[in-house]
Amino acid sequence: IPHRQEAKYAGAHVLIRPASAGTGVIAGGAMRAVLESAGIKNVLAKSLGSSNPHNVVKATFNALKALRDAKTIANARGISVSKVFQG
């Protein structure tokens, strides 16, 4: 996970954050299943609001779809990749 991401679907609100190497997947229920099947190794995740697993899964997919890498952000801003990290 390159950066922190929040997403909503109906009443479900999810928060996904990057974690240091070796942390593993720290998430509950339906979110853990989605993140593990996506092949994500080190992540901290929290589900807020609705605990309906269908809505949590859809909110998790929305969060994963909204992730952008440094190269995409640099192209959108018209700056170099190193400037993205250095400010």
Computed on alpha carbons and rounded to an integer, the radius of gyration of the chain in Å comes to: 14
Query: Quick one: how far is CA 52 from the chain centroid?
Result: 19
Q: What angle separates helix 29-37 from helix 53-65, to the nearest 10 degrees? A: 40
55-69 pLDDT, tens digit per residue, is 999 999 999 999 999
- Of 41, 23, 35, nearest to 64 by C-alpha is 35
Domains and CATH numbers, the chain: 5-86 (3.30.230.10)
21-52 pLDDT, tens digit per residue, is 999 999 999 999 999 999 999 999 999 999 99
Give the Cα separation of 57 and 49 in Å (integer). Answer: 13
pTM: 0.86
Give the 3-state secondary structure of residue 22: coil
12 in Cβ contact with 59 (< 8 Å): yes
